[in-house]
Structure 1
Amino acid sequence: MTTGPGGYDRLDFRDVPIPVPMAGEALVKVLAAGINNTDINTRLGWYSSRVTAGTAEAAGAMPAADGGWNGASPFPFIQGTDCCGRVAAIGPGGDASLLGQRVLVRPCMRPQGFSSLDMKWLGSDFDGAFADYAVVPQAELFPIASQWSDAELATIPCAYGTAENMLHRAGVSAGERVLVTGASGGVGSAAVQLAKRRGAWVAAVTTADKAAALLHLGADHIIDRALGIPADLAGTFAVAVDNVAGPGFGGVLTALARGGCYVTSGAIAGPVVALDMRDLYLQDLTLIGCTAWDAPVFPNLIGYIERNEIRPLVAGTFPLQEIAEAQRAFLEKRHVGNFVLIPPGAA
């Protein structure tokens, strides 16, 4: 349980009652839960406009109580946005066929329907998957027929859903040139795979020590983050998928061709950037911010998994009670892919 905004001392491993599903809900036994930037950002209160540093730098800053997705987070509560689990019980009048099925939970929920941008996030707006059990709406359960392990499936929901949503919104199609920053992270490595699945030519921005892993993942070209985007690639990309932002924002924007699209759902290097308006309007660029997922996104992912069109990247697993150590490792950014927590009851 996260007791309030702040540091690792706010992560409290404790016994709590097993929740009871109400009508329209299901009780899911958590088998594995992935770690994402949003879990750390929510604990830090990073989404507050008063926070201007990147995620890692913000870890030592004054926590912001209004720093959740939708304002103030409901502390104390159980975090955990990624959930692979098995349906243990259903609420009154629910679908009994779900009982016993292994499922992924769609973490971005649209309670007013997809015509509204109103949303609720598992593990950010209400109790999530860093527990033995979680209660979720039955409509957000997606049974999965796959040979992947629980830990592998737990890398998918938030990172791959976020990446697929950005590519969907940007309309990435075969033959287009796509630039992906932060390509070794959860969202970045997902974006590389998913853009390649659409037939795009992908350039991945990463560190030199991770270049081989990204090429193995399918990237067509590697850009060394330390050197920046080379001059010969400026103005050549149809789409830039950038969850890094920070000081490199301007260089990413000038990498786009005329009429290109910049799409983002994060800013791990810093949310406040310098924008030269001439780069925007003289090049007829489109900027797209993505948080609420569109309707096809999660069903698409389930299909990709079941047809083995993508693959998971498990950087490592930790017991749930070692969540602080796992988040420290996550922030070191030495890994490729995602870390996963295993609850005691699933070990």
Structure 2
Amino acid sequence: MNASQVMRAVRITRHGGPEVLELAEVAVPAPEAGEVLVRVGAVALNNTDLWTREGAYGRPGDPGAKSGWRGPIGFPRIQGADVAGRVVAVGTGVERSLVGRRVVVDPAIYDSEGPDANPVGLMGSERDGGYAEYVTAPAQRVHDVTGSPLTDDQLASLPTAYGTALGMIERGRLRKGETALVSGASGGVGLALVQLARARGATVLAISSGPKIDAVREAGAHAVIDRAGDIAEQTRAAAPDGIDVALDVVAGELVGEGLPLLREGGRWVIAGALGGYDVTFDVRRLYLHNAQVIGSAMHTPTHFGLLMDLARRADVQPVIAAAFPLEQAARAQEELSRREHVGKIVMHP
């Protein structure tokens, strides 16, 4: 690669609707010291892409403020956190043997170097991402999956959705034989939670609705609770002894309704607010039962390493709902926002 080469990329120059996504020709980024350059094979879409584009994250003390994942966005910004592809060049201090390897990029920007570091930024939000033909990434965040039987589309589906799901499962200490309740089960993170909790040996109850119920059952849910009905009543019927761990991306009213369903010492893990960020619950249901409410943002480097082990063995099989070319990024995001699909939407640069 030489520095004069250009690539196609989709970027945003301001917050707004799908119309702010623009296809541009930009210089291929050069890998700096400690970085690699990846030719993008597939990039997966996430709700994070929509909320970053809209500036929907708010800020501490100002929930209505236009903001990226962790603060103001530096525009123009190339979106896209989830990349699978091949290493085509390396910066100084990086093993040349990485060139040609098939990789998945851990999109998290961490607060420290340790194995349990917290994510404080995200590729596609705090640094340029994979809505492009090429992207740079720190070499230590690139995981070699050359031998994995999964497709590029499936591998690209893993980082944010499955990383977030595995982070929730690990932080919630879900063990084999326990009962898990998964909200928003047909979405990207929800379907990942169903698959990963099932792979761990848990009994999985999933909340979904309408035509998506069959797909959620197919992903491994032991029972599906219809969102249109009384969730608490259905859950009690399916799990009379209660829930050990709730894996929740919906929040809103579900938290108040659901906390009484937890068993003694139960854990309610929240990683999203699709149902609203204003939550009310009876605090007695928390302390009298030694329950815990746990916030979970993405994953740690340790969690991501566990996920890549699963990917190499194809122990999880991401479901692909649709694939779009890069120039149809706006259409792809609109499709995502409609929430009529089951599985992941990907783009091919």
TM-score (norm 1): 0.91
Larger deviation: 251-260 or 331-340?
251-260
> Secondary structure of 1:12's match?
strand
Distance 2:140 2:117 in 1: 17
Are 2:27 and 1:26 equivalent residues in the alignment?
A: no
Alignment match, 2:127: 126
Are 2:225 and 1:215 equivalent residues in the alignment?
A: no
Instruction: Structure 1: state its 5+ residue gaps.
Output: 53-63
> Secondary structure of 1:257's match?
strand
Alignment match, 2:85: 85
Letter in 1 for 2:131: F
Determine if contact 1:109/1:140 at 8 Å carries over to the other structure: no
Distance 2:23 2:92 in 1: 31
Determine if contact 2:182/2:190 at 8 Å carries over to the other structure: yes
Distance 2:235 2:341 in 1: 27
Superimposed CA distance per residue, residues 260-317 of structure 1 (whole angstroms, 9 cap, x where no aligned partner):
1000111112111222222222222101111152232111111112222111110110
Distance 1:310 1:207 in 2: 23
> Secondary structure of 1:14's match?
strand
> Secondary structure of 2:86's match?
strand
Determine if contact 1:105/1:141 at 8 Å carries over to the other structure: yes
Are 2:197 and 1:195 equivalent residues in the alignment?
A: yes
Are 2:245 and 1:227 equivalent residues in the alignment?
A: no
Determine if contact 2:119/2:300 at 8 Å carries over to the other structure: no
Letter in 2 for 1:125: E
Letter in 1 for 2:304: F
Alignment match, 1:14: 24
Determine if contact 1:229/1:255 at 8 Å carries over to the other structure: no
Alignment match, 1:73: 73
- What does 1:43-122 align with in structure 2 at a 5 Å threshold? 43-49=53-59, 50-51=62-63, 64-65=65-66, 67-114=67-114, 116-117=117-118, 119-122=120-123
Determine if contact 1:35/1:82 at 8 Å carries over to the other structure: yes
Determine if contact 1:245/1:268 at 8 Å carries over to the other structure: yes
Report the Cα offset of residue 255 of structure 1: 2.1
Q: Which has the higher strand share?
A: 2
Letter in 1 for 2:130: A
Alignment match, 1:139: 140
Runs of 4+ that moved beyond 4 A: 49-52
Determine if contact 2:197/2:204 at 8 Å carries over to the other structure: yes
- What does 1:231-242 align with in structure 2 at a 5 Å threshold? 231=233, 233-234=235-236, 236-242=242-248
**How many residue pairs get matched?**
331
Superimposed CA distance per residue, residues 105-159 of structure 1 (whole angstroms, 9 cap, x where no aligned partner):
0011325223553633111110000111111101100010212221121111110
Determine if contact 2:38/2:89 at 8 Å carries over to the other structure: yes
Letter in 2 for 1:121: L
Give the direction of change, closer, same or farther, for the CA distance of 1:292–1:264 in structure 2 (3 Å limit): same
Distance 1:212 1:141 in 2: 35
Superimposed CA distance per residue, residues 169-228 of structure 1 (whole angstroms, 9 cap, x where no aligned partner):
111111100000000111000000100111000000000311111111111001001113
Distance 2:206 2:54 in 1: 29
Determine if contact 2:163/2:298 at 8 Å carries over to the other structure: no
Report the Cα offset of residue 327 of structure 1: 1.0
Alignment match, 2:180: 178
Distance 2:218 2:235 in 1: 22
Determine if contact 2:165/2:298 at 8 Å carries over to the other structure: no
Give the direction of change, closer, same or farther, for the CA distance of 1:190–1:98 in structure 2 (3 Å limit): same
Give the direction of change, closer, same or farther, for the CA distance of 1:19–1:232 in structure 2 (3 Å limit): closer
Determine if contact 2:232/2:258 at 8 Å carries over to the other structure: no
Select 2:14's aligned residue among 4, 7, 16: 4
Distance 2:81 2:248 in 1: 21
Select 1:261's aligned residue among 257, 267, 282: 267
Report the Cα offset of residue 232 of structure 1: 6.1
- What does 1:264-275 align with in structure 2 at a 5 Å threshold? 264-275=270-281
Distance 2:156 2:343 in 1: 11
TM-score (norm 2): 0.91
